[in-house]
Structure 1
């Protein structure tokens, strides 16, 4: 069946016979060599949902233990819907991009309250749930419910761009409908979930972004960029701007009750997670004594008097999407435990630190200071 002229026809002119041959080759390889992953042991939409959200911005090997622990803590979507925020964030600790897990819980509550605990079965309906976009909706709909809709993520962009020499910039919003149309045209009607997972696996094996091996790919005879040696020219992608470097002092203040942690504001980066108080080094005057400025600012914010000192520790560096933080630790030791009624903080001992949700950047600080 020919594609419409406006979407994809320029790139995909395969006959139905060729499409069927492509599907057969891809699925045969997937049956033999597809990755065996915990969330692929069944077709439960909850398992697919959790794994796909975790896999956003995170490598598979990192996700596996998090996924397994998450399923132990929240075995069903209703358990997730009813979880406390502290328990939720603790289970996500270290994965970053915490809005993902907050949106997961909002979606779980929608399923509980609006769908009587039952999952929507179509990609269109699934996108009505908080935090579920076209890709995740397509993954759940195809794998759990057999809907033939292509799941277009970074792997699919790369695979289809190379197979068909699609020269559209994949960072541009208008490119997605073309890839979606092509993917929907190529997908197996009988095994849509396996097809989507096979494309994922192909993009993480023979058609990786760097050092691909298209000559060993199970679909090399269908690969137009391999045929003319232009594999690395695809996909076309505008380079992202480099993250902005920001420099902070992380204030490690110890009292008999533990170490001082501040809860981040309800909105913004690392919302409601616990960290050492930070001082932006750009706000300090290089011509004035550093420690006295830090002590003054700390007292203004907390009401606590403390004397700080530098420590011989390597600064902690942590990169977010748009920012790169450089944190130098300053330490203060107090002989008594001050009142914190004027400050959104707590004194956390080792047990409380283990129970409190901490962002990855704070875990890095902990490793520097406590090990």
Structure 2
């Protein structure tokens, strides 16, 4: 055991998270690789507290890798709805299908085979092999990058290739041959609960004695922040066409761009375009302006102005298609909807009856 891993594991034994739902082992003490993989994908850019209820809902509906492989995409996206970064869910779904086709319905215990699956990079593959199979592989997620950057005083943004290469070398050096599953959880826990972005809790850190950033007063400067740039703002109008039965017209978005493949609402660029679009889709009389809201993506802000067209009547020539359908309220939970669209539909005012 090395000088970094030894105190870290001792800290983990006292303070680490050992009862997370994806850590549960079977009667032989083995963790389910499917659950480990699912948690690792969900935890990308998302905190543990947020992930837990989504994880539990997902495995309750699709408890095995084969269940995921056999599910239709709408079901998978509906279970993922609210976590964002929906490309992760599509990669997860496709990777499960490939595991059934090529690996007998199990997660392979081989690095190259794992890394060849969609959405599984070097760190995710390492986490699966370490935590599910007990194999010695390093990991380098965002929390680990922060810990190693500060501990070794590495300057430069962690996404820079030279910096990332250095961090991988440190990650490999510190990963022990024993208790590798506990170690990978320990270093992730350290970054998530002690070596946090702002005001790290250095007094509670088991490796603080040799931390370059702590000794040099650099914890606020490391990791080196990425050069900032203004986040652009865009605007759209979302059109809610609701018929007398309470059904809402939804459109499946194309394969490219934001919310690709999800069911969403028709959109328009301005008020005139909103009326033209609504009249093409259905017979409408009047619109109610609902409360505007802002949805923030990682790379821009979207100002949304919703318009509600009640008692819309679809022309006879417009039929349900694979890209456009009228959905009843009770069908909405089964669909992959963007989180702000789901929230908008759930908050709709009741229809006025004459």
What's 1:58 paired with?
A: 46
Does residue 11 of structure 2 align to residue 29 of structure 1?
A: yes
* Residue-by-residue CA offset, 1:15-52 (whole Å, 9 max, x unaligned): xxxx7232111001111111131111232211110001
- Residue 242 of structure 1, CA deviation: 4.0
- Residue 80 of structure 1, CA deviation: 0.8
Supply the distance in 2 between the matched residues of 1:73 and 1:231 (Cα, whole angstroms): 42
Alpha-carbon contact 1:295-1:305 (below 8 Å) kept: no
What's 1:14 paired with?
A: none
In the alignment, structure 2 segments of 5+ residues that lack a partner are 26-30
Supply the distance in 2 between the matched residues of 1:370 and 1:65 (Cα, whole angstroms): 28
Does residue 277 of structure 2 align to residue 297 of structure 1?
A: yes
Quick check: 219-228 or 233-242, which moved more? 233-242
Does residue 79 of structure 2 align to residue 91 of structure 1?
A: yes
Quick check: 191-200 or 234-243, which moved more? 234-243
CA RMSD of aligned residues (A): 2.0
What's 2:250 paired with?
A: 261
What are the equivalent positions in structure 2 for 1:196-275 lying under 5 Å apart? 196-257=184-245, 258-275=247-264
Alpha-carbon contact 1:242-1:322 (below 8 Å) kept: no
What's 2:308 paired with?
A: 331
Q: TM-score, normalised by structure 2?
A: 0.90
Alpha-carbon contact 2:241-2:278 (below 8 Å) kept: no
Does residue 329 of structure 2 align to residue 346 of structure 1?
A: no
* Residue-by-residue CA offset, 1:240-299 (whole Å, 9 max, x unaligned): 544321111111112123122222123332122122211123xxxxxxxx3x54222333
In the alignment, structure 1 segments of 5+ residues that lack a partner are 1-18, 282-289
Q: Are residues 342 and 108 of structure 1, via their aligned partners in 2, closer, same or farther at CA, if it must alter by over 3 Å?
A: closer
Q: Are residues 334 and 229 of structure 1, via their aligned partners in 2, closer, same or farther at CA, if it must alter by over 3 Å?
A: same
What's 1:362 paired with?
A: 341
Number of aligned positions between the proteins: 341
Q: TM-score, normalised by structure 1?
A: 0.86
Q: Are residues 26 and 201 of structure 1, via their aligned partners in 2, closer, same or farther at CA, if it must alter by over 3 Å?
A: same
* Residue-by-residue CA offset, 1:223-246 (whole Å, 9 max, x unaligned): 121122221121113135443211
Segments of 4+ moved more than 6 angstroms: none
- Residue 219 of structure 1, CA deviation: 1.6
